[in-house]
Amino acid sequence: MIWKNLFEEHILRRGYDYYCSENVQNLKISKNKITASVCGTEDYNVSISLKDNLINEMECTCPYAEPGNHCKHMAAVLYAVQNTEPVNSHFETEIKALLDQSDVYELKNFLAQILQQDETLFLRLKSFLAKSKEDVDLKLYQKQIDQTISSYLDYYGYIEYDDAGRFIEDMEKYLYNDVQQLINQNLLEPAFELISYLFSKVSDIGIDDSDGETIEFVQLCCTLWEKIIFSAESSLKEKIFYWMMSYIDTSEADYIDCCIEYIFMEQFQEPEYLQKKFDYTEERASKISYSDNWNNRYEREHWAKQHINVMEQMQVSTDEILKYCKKYMEHPEIRKYCVSLYIRQDNDNNAISLLEESLILDKNYAGLVLDYRRILKELYRKNGNQEAYREQLWQIVISQVNLDEFRELKAIYPVEKWENVREKLFAELQPYEAAILYKEEGLYKRLLQYVMSKDSVFELKKYESSLIKHYPKQVVSKYSNYLIKSAKQTANRKTYKAWANLLMHMTKIQGGREQACKILIKWRELYPKRKAMMDELDKVKIDMP
């Protein structure tokens, strides 16, 4: 089955990476259809229909494929299918036979002509034949990379979305082909230099990377760096260490540069490097004073946390770490770390005291307060302080409705007292939060009142499955009133399509078919000049009563 020509090269590469990472699951192959799910940022379903062993149609539930694009998930599935089929070595056999019967002099002449026409191939061959790092022409690599980048830049030095995928693909070719080849030849220093040049260039460019190719490029750089660090001799490893330290010093700490910091902190575990990291992180944290500037506070807290990380790697005593933390206790993350240390020491009293202090210090930060309360709740429960446990649990539920925590709260109270407690809880919640609990508690009349009070049908769609068994007439009425009111104003085709789909949906509800038919007939009478609307209504198939 021929299929690779259906994809752009960078999509094929992404798909192959997904396949190699074993992200293709539930693969099913039949004569006329292939289906599978592919794990990514989410799980996506792929369906490929076949006709005469050729691809007829491909579908994927990912956003990229929605307008009809062929995505990396489809490519991953096809790589998985290909792997289940016997490998056809005919092409490889033919190449070997052709080379065996060729004259060496003629082959050299042919190769010379090809290399004169293709500088990239010439450079790759030169590196392939290199015996030492001096044989690798890094200046020519840098010239080629600069030329490639320049060919993509617009007038303002920016790479637009339409070119971003191909650009990153061209940058990755150097990593997959040239860098990997140098690593295979154990020419680790030029391999490192080449990755570092590519990384620095890409990180400095403005690029519309809406599809996330840049972060995948960065991750590939990091994977190759880690390979080099693992095998590097001491002098090269030290060179890499200081290069990364220097890069971090001048970086803007965005998501690209943070990848280097991660390698810097997690690799280099030898004692001499740990001591250097100890000194470096301590200096970075101490030279930033606490201020009202958010960025300064973040940097100070961040490097204090990194210093603590190094102290743990060096197996510094808990008392010494706590002593260091006290210099940075104005930072929430440091206090949370101290709480974890106290808990680890079974020093619950200190943990509770620090959490209660943090509730006051960070009272304006809802997310932090919720984190503190959840830890406090468990500590109070563990220590048998039922009243304090119940109070924290109550505050958690009214801060952020979570059904597990709501059920935990309900389990505390006897059945005969629960209804009164529940009413007090509802009184402290926003209506949309209470609605979640109406459904949980089976209070469908209240839930109906809530959704009927809304102008849109968003909330009704959300809770329809709970209401339709008890109040089908009211559900149909809500949909009908919404459609009639909405249609008084013109709209775009997308909205007309949504209305048509809602009409079809109404036919599945008891009493809804008759109402949908009435609306359909009335709309045809009132709005015959709305061509787009009539087009969408023509697609509505309802058996008239």
* DSSP class per residue in 146-211: HHHHHHH--TTSEE-HHHHHHHHHHHHHIIIIIIHHHHHTT-HHHHHHHHHHHHHHHHHSEE--TT
Query: Would you say residue 88 has pLDDT above 60?
Result: no
CA angle 252, 253, 258 (to 5 degrees): 140
Look at 39-43, 50-54, 165-169 and tell me which has the smallest mean pLDDT.
39-43
Residue 211: how many other CB atoms lie within 10 Å: 19
The pTM assigned to this predicted structure is 0.71
Mean pLDDT value across residues 248-259 = 79
Residue 242: how many other CB atoms lie within 10 Å: 11
Query: What does the alpha-carbon distance between residue 220 and residue 441 come to, in Å, rounded to a whole number?
Result: 50
Residue 483: per-residue pLDDT: 96
Mean pLDDT value across residues 320-326 = 95
Tokens of 364: 């304006």
Distance of CA 155 to the CA centre of its chain: 31
Q: How far is CA 417 from CA 46, 115, 527, in A?
A: 51, 86, 57
Which residue shows structure tokens 């470096």?
280
Residue 108: per-residue pLDDT: 87
Phi, psi values for residue 129, rounded to 5°: -90, -5
Distance of CA 140 to the CA centre of its chain: 36
Distance of CA 438 to the CA centre of its chain: 33
Residue 500: per-residue pLDDT: 94
- The average confidence (pLDDT) of the chain is 91
HEC readout, 327-386 = HHCCCHHHHHHHHHHHHHCCCHHHHHHHHHHHHHHCCCCHHHHHHHHHHHHHHHHHCCCH
pLDDT band at 111 (very low <50, low <70, confident <90, very high): confident
Query: What does the alpha-carbon distance between residue 320 and residue 316 come to, in Å, rounded to a whole number?
Result: 7
Distance of CA 175 to the CA centre of its chain: 23
Query: What does the alpha-carbon distance between residue 126 and residue 137 come to, in Å, rounded to a whole number?
Result: 8
DSSP letter string, 284-305: HHHTS---S-HHHHHHHHHHHH
Residue 304: how many other CB atoms lie within 10 Å: 24
**Higher pLDDT, residue 271 or 86:** 271
Which residue shows structure tokens 């979570």?
402
Tokens of 382: 């563990």
Give the pLDDT confidence of 166-181 residue by residue, as tens digits. Answer: 898 889 889 988 998 9
Amino acid code (one letter) for 463: Y
Nearest residue to 310 (alpha-carbon basis) of 280, 344, 340 = 280
* SS3 of residue 85 by DSSP: coil
Residue 330: per-residue pLDDT: 94
Mean pLDDT value across residues 85-92 = 54
In the beta sheet, which residues pair with residue 514? none
Q: How far is CA 434 from CA 35, 211, 400, 424, in A?
A: 41, 38, 11, 11
Give the pLDDT confidence of 271-321 residue by residue, as tens digits. Answer: 999 999 999 999 999 998 887 788 889 999 999 999 999 999 999 999 999
CA angle 348, 349, 350 (to 5 degrees): 95
Question: How many contiguous H segments (helices) and E segments (strands) does the chain have?
Answer: 28, 6
Residue 530: how many other CB atoms lie within 10 Å: 16
pLDDT band at 87 (very low <50, low <70, confident <90, very high): very low
Mean pLDDT value across residues 414-440 = 96
| The CA-based dihedral angle spanning residues 381, 383, 387, 389, taken in that order and rounded to the nearest 10 degrees | -30
Pairing mode, if any, of strands 54-60 and 33-39? unpaired
Residue 161: per-residue pLDDT: 85
**Higher pLDDT, residue 174 or 255:** 174
Query: What does the alpha-carbon distance between residue 476 and residue 482 come to, in Å, rounded to a whole number?
Result: 10
Q: Do residues 229 and 240 lie in contact, with contact meaning Cβ atoms separated by under 8 Å? A: yes
For 447-479, give one letter per residue: b (16+ CB within 10 A) or e. Answer: bbebbbeeeebebbeebbebbbeebeebbbebb
pLDDT above 70 covers a percentage of the chain that reads 97
Highest mean pLDDT among 4-8, 213-217, 404-408, 507-511: 404-408
For 374-399, give one letter per residue: b (16+ CB within 10 A) or e. Answer: bbbbebbbeeeeeebbbebbbbbbbb
* SS3 of residue 132 by DSSP: coil
pLDDT band at 253 (very low <50, low <70, confident <90, very high): low
pLDDT band at 130 (very low <50, low <70, confident <90, very high): confident
pLDDT above 90 covers a percentage of the chain that reads 66
In the beta sheet, which residues pair with residue 36? 46
